[in-house]
Structure 1
Amino acid sequence: MNRPVQSSSVALKTAERINVRTKEDFDSIVNRGQPVILTGLEIGPCVSLWTPEYLLSKIGADRPVIVHSCPTSRMTFQTKNFSYIKQSFGEFMADVTAGKQLYLRSVASTQPAKHATNLYKDFPAIAADFRLPDALASATENIHSSPLRISGPVILWLHYDVLANILCQIRGTKRLRLYPPGDVAHLAYPPGSSSSNIDVYAPAEELSDAQRTELLQTHPHEAFLRPGDVLFIPPAWSHTAKPEEGLSVAVNCFWRNLDAGVYAQGRDVYGNRDIAAYEEGRKAVEKVAKGFEGVPKDLQRFYLERLVGELREKVEALDVDGNGVGGEESG
């Protein structure tokens, strides 16, 4: 059932819940390129075991962690209204279970600036409690990272991931809002950034007229996750998560589902480097703009606008549906 978005009058499309039994079932969902809650999956005893007390006993109270701390319930990338603080895991768990607005996204336990986080390497004492079933082989065989996420009543800013990922909800409930790739022009992304400058959970009165107008042109989806639910999030789908009830614990698994040559080469610890073609395209844009140096500004604008029009024609010629999602290309 659709219901109105808080900050505009567009309707939310509820993510499908689809039973997954085989690898073919999962691959078909990935190729569709739409967010889907995968049902019928057994992700291990973590769903019953991972209480705050259990996690504390297994991970250890003295282990240092870096967490996001925010004075409000909504972290925003534009205003940077949050800070990174270092705590012991024991301090963090005490604070977050008491309702403080903290958010832990694990990083690699050794050389985090060089290596992506991996649940099995970074949290070996609890890793055996979590498993991805054989039906998700396409993900497990190409895994990039598997961060542990623990959060209190705080919302992470809207962003997109370049890699396909599945979010496995283990404790607590969470509501996600997701926007298809075709909505990107309406979501206030600075050039070269994967983090949006718009707070889609803000009340309408906190948004500018321009922001409200842009949101009216989007096609948001919503997924409500309970313990044991697994959400497939396709590449380039903007999303943000809002914890609904209790402490939220999840494992997020990212993998490369496209040909290796599509991705940018080099270090990518968080898996959010844009694809190679986009990175090269941004360089080409700078080169094109530089080529107009010395030309009168009115002529610069005239010809750059013509080039923008040609690019817009290329965009509009892509085979996409009304939500800006194109078949296999988005998955």
Structure 2
Amino acid sequence: MKQANTSSSHPYQAVEHIKLGADDMNQVLAIIHDATKPLVFEGLCEHFPIVQAGLDSSDSAMAYLQRFNADKPIIGYKIASEHQGRVFYNDELTGFNYSAGQAPLAVVLDHLKQEQQTPTGTGIYMGSTDVQQFFPGFAEQNTLQLGGLSPLTNLWLGNQTNVAAHFDFPLNLACNLVGRRRFTLFPPEQIANLYIGPMEFAPGGQPISMVNVEQPDFDKFPKFKLAQAQAQQVELNPGDVLFIPSMWWHQVTGVDDFNVLLTHWWRDTPGFMGRPNNSLMHAMLSLRSLPKAQRQAWKAIFDYYIFNDELDDNQHIPQGAQGMLTTPLDELNARKLRADLSNKLRR
């Protein structure tokens, strides 16, 4: 039997590191405002009490977390040892390779402690969990001060697990609180080389790359070498903060036997503009199955109306008649567009 080529010894590009203190958040915000690539802010959150507790010991970090638990069951995942911590699909892609269920935080932490003391290779994972709802009071001393922004804050914890490469629409400042995590990041345009899985369902609800970045199978996924050439990788220490620009693909790997991450998600455009993935789903319905010539014609129309770098080049239309072409789109015209689209979708 031919053995698959799974070498992963690739010299990834390094993520740029910046050293600023907690008192320099205005400067941090100014830097990321124009950033189009990932950035690491070394030690930016090392003053957080949870970080200091984790530097003392895993037990101290776990005890600190439990002080804020709202006694609400959280969703935890258990991954059998043969999957080596990979949060993924089953072999038939009819479901997932883990078992999930609700349990008190104390139970999840106890399972993590057992794995530390008597390792079986079982992956234990808690995905995106809202801080305000499940850990009230935690944010008061353990979140970044982002000025006028109101980010969604979520906690993630587990042992040596890895989450397949995916993208998020919001911008993200990810605080590595306990343990070490490795991020492998790919520019948005590398989607064609990442072998994306089903759209209907995915482990985290967002389409993922089918490639195991830690052990890529180049016989099965040859184009992934092109994605590797453009990828960046970084291992975060406790207290480091990673800025992930909107739409960058990233695989996340827990390096240590207990690690905790805090994400700050926000969008830099008004909420009334809606979610771009809704447009993608509508395009799947109405455009994807058209004949090639028609799809190419619509591509030109989308380029003109949507992706043109000079979107405000409408001087040939009186401003009062521009309607939905107004740049930037205002809330009134957004509401009109939404109502018109909603009516048409119901026909």
- What is the TM-score when the length of structure 1 is the normalising length? 0.71
SS of the equivalent of 1:241 reads strand
Partner of 2:237: 226
Deviation, structure 1 residue 243: 1.2
Deviation, structure 1 residue 103: 0.9
- Please, which of 233, 253, 256 is the counterpart of residue 245 of structure 1? 256
1:129 equivalenced with 2:128 (yes/no): no
Alpha-carbon RMSD? 3.4
Deviation, structure 1 residue 318: 7.0
1:214 equivalenced with 2:224 (yes/no): yes
Asked if 1 retains the 8 angstrom alpha-carbon contact of 2:185 and 2:248, the reply is yes
- The farther-off stretch of 38-47 and 91-100 is 38-47
1:74 equivalenced with 2:86 (yes/no): yes
Structure-2 change in CA distance of 1:93 and 1:318 (3 Å): same
Q: Distance in 2 between matches of 1:306 and 1:279?
A: 21
- Please, which of 46, 49, 63 is the counterpart of residue 54 of structure 1? 63
Deviation, structure 1 residue 196: 1.5
Partner of 1:110: none
Q: Distance in 2 between matches of 1:316 and 1:53?
A: 47
Q: Partner letter of residue 102 of structure 2? A: K
Q: Distance in 2 between matches of 1:40 and 1:262?
A: 35
Partner of 1:36: 39
Asked if 2 retains the 8 angstrom alpha-carbon contact of 1:52 and 1:93, the reply is no
Q: Distance in 1 between matches of 2:294 and 2:30?
A: 41
SS of the equivalent of 2:30 reads helix
Asked if 2 retains the 8 angstrom alpha-carbon contact of 1:8 and 1:215, the reply is no
Deviation, structure 1 residue 220: 0.9
1:16 equivalenced with 2:16 (yes/no): yes
SS of the equivalent of 1:246 reads coil
SS of the equivalent of 2:184 reads strand
Partner of 2:157: 150
Structure-2 change in CA distance of 1:40 and 1:170 (3 Å): closer
- Please, which of 126, 134, 137 is the counterpart of residue 104 of structure 1? 126
- Higher relative contact order by CA 8 Å / sep ≥ 6: 1 or 2? 1
SS of the equivalent of 1:49 reads helix
Q: Distance in 1 between matches of 2:251 and 2:287?
A: 35
Asked if 1 retains the 8 angstrom alpha-carbon contact of 2:155 and 2:262, the reply is yes
- Please, which of 171, 178, 185 is the counterpart of residue 185 of structure 2? 178
CA deviation profile, 1:285-329 (whole Å, cap 9, x unmatched):
533466x5xxxxxxx35x25644875898899879xxxxxxxxxx
Partner of 2:285: 286
Asked if 2 retains the 8 angstrom alpha-carbon contact of 1:10 and 1:216, the reply is no
Asked if 2 retains the 8 angstrom alpha-carbon contact of 1:187 and 1:198, the reply is yes
SS of the equivalent of 1:198 reads coil
Q: What 5-or-longer segments of structure 1 have no aligned partner? A: 1-5, 108-116, 265-274, 293-299, 320-331
- The farther-off stretch of 58-67 and 254-263 is 58-67
SS of the equivalent of 2:177 reads strand
SS of the equivalent of 1:183 reads helix
Q: Distance in 2 between matches of 1:179 and 1:161?
A: 12
SS of the equivalent of 2:191 reads helix
Structure-2 change in CA distance of 1:56 and 1:10 (3 Å): closer
Structure-2 change in CA distance of 1:13 and 1:62 (3 Å): same
CA deviation profile, 1:50-108 (whole Å, cap 9, x unmatched):
5344236414696522112211221224742122122222221111133341111253x
Q: Partner letter of residue 250 of structure 1? A: L
Partner of 2:168: 161
Between the two proteins, what is the percent identity of the paired residues?
A: 20
SS of the equivalent of 2:246 reads coil
Q: Distance in 2 between matches of 1:35 and 1:289?
A: 32
How many aligned residue pairs are there?
Answer: 277
- What is the TM-score when the length of structure 2 is the normalising length? 0.68
Q: Partner letter of residue 16 of structure 1? A: E
Structure-2 change in CA distance of 1:92 and 1:171 (3 Å): same
Q: Partner letter of residue 224 of structure 2? A: E
Q: Distance in 1 between matches of 2:215 and 2:143?
A: 39
Q: Distance in 2 between matches of 1:262 and 1:28?
A: 25
Structure-2 change in CA distance of 1:289 and 1:176 (3 Å): closer
Q: Distance in 1 between matches of 2:128 and 2:283?
A: 36
Q: Distance in 2 between matches of 1:311 and 1:83?
A: 45
Partner of 1:111: none
Partner of 1:270: none
Larger Rg: 2
Asked if 2 retains the 8 angstrom alpha-carbon contact of 1:17 and 1:36, the reply is yes
Runs of 4+ in 1 over 6 A off after TM superposition: 311-319
